[in-house]
Structure 1
Amino acid sequence: MKLYYVTLNNIDEARQIGRALLEQQLAVCVNWFPITCAYRWQGEITEEPEVVLIVKTQDGYENEIEQLIRQQISYTNFIAEISPTAINPGFLDWLNAEVPLKTLYSSPI
């Protein structure tokens, strides 16, 4: 299982991207919530609203998820892959039933 932590400009973007991920079976569940972002930009500290989208999915979908996000937004945002170390079995059963396991293999040399 993987989680993706994605920053976006607003709730409408998060909703649109989240629903597209669900419709394309790239995620079993998504959450979004508003936050405040503070950062340094050109020597100044700036604060502004932002939205976090959390994507719950199988391992191996990083490229597809990032591609879908890039189709929806044109600015540079943050996308981080997080690997949980423990997940309750009931959630894993649901994930495995809804999002196909991706075959991960390396090609022989």
Structure 2
Amino acid sequence: MRLYYVTLNTAAEAEAISRALLRANLALCTNWFPIHCAYRWEGEIRTEPETVLIIKTQAGYRDRLEAVIRAHIDYTNCIVELEPTGVNPGFLDWLNREISPLGVAQS
């Protein structure tokens, strides 16, 4: 299993990306929520609202996920791939039934 932590500008972007991933059978489930972000940009510290999208899927889908995300946004964002060390068996069974494992050969 893989989780992807993705930062976006708006909840509308998160919803559109989520629906595209689900339609393409690239994700089992997604969640999004508002956060606040502080960062350094061109020598200044800025603070602004942001949306985090969490994507739950199998290993090996990173390139495809990033292609869908890039089709919806044109700015630099954060996409982090996480490998959980423990997941409840019922969720893994659901994931394995719905999304085919591709292995870790893809980056």
TM-score scaled by structure 2? 0.95
CA-CA distance at 1:56 after TM superposition: 0.3
Report the CA distance shift for 1:74/1:86 in structure 2 as closer, same or farther (over 3 A).
Answer: same
Identity %: 59
CA-CA distance at 1:105 after TM superposition: 5.1
Note if 1:80 corresponds to 2:80.
yes
CA-CA distance at 1:42 after TM superposition: 1.6
Question: Partner letter of residue 44 of structure 2?
Answer: E
- 1:71 maps to what in 2? 71
CA-CA distance at 1:104 after TM superposition: 4.8
Alignment of 1:1-109 (within 5 A): 1-104=1-104
When the two chains are superposed, the root-mean-square deviation of aligned CA atoms in Å is 1.3
Question: Partner letter of residue 34 of structure 1?
Answer: P
Give me the whole-angstrom Cα distance separating, in 1, the residues matched to 2:40 and 2:66.
25
Question: Partner letter of residue 77 of structure 1?
Answer: N
Runs of at least 4 residues off by over 3 Å: 103-106
Q: Which runs of 5+ in 2 are unaligned?
A: none
CA-CA distance at 1:28 after TM superposition: 0.4
Question: Partner letter of residue 6 of structure 1?
Answer: V
Tell me which structure has the larger Cα radius of gyration: 1
Question: Partner letter of residue 30 of structure 2?
Answer: V
C-alpha contact 2:14 2:51 (8 A) present in aligned 1: yes
Question: Partner letter of residue 33 of structure 1?
Answer: F
CA-CA distance at 1:103 after TM superposition: 4.6
Give me the whole-angstrom Cα distance separating, in 2, the residues matched to 1:104 and 1:47.
36
Give me the whole-angstrom Cα distance separating, in 2, the residues matched to 1:40 and 1:100.
40
TM-score scaled by structure 1? 0.93
Q: How many residues align?
A: 106
Give me the whole-angstrom Cα distance separating, in 1, the residues matched to 2:100 and 2:84.
18
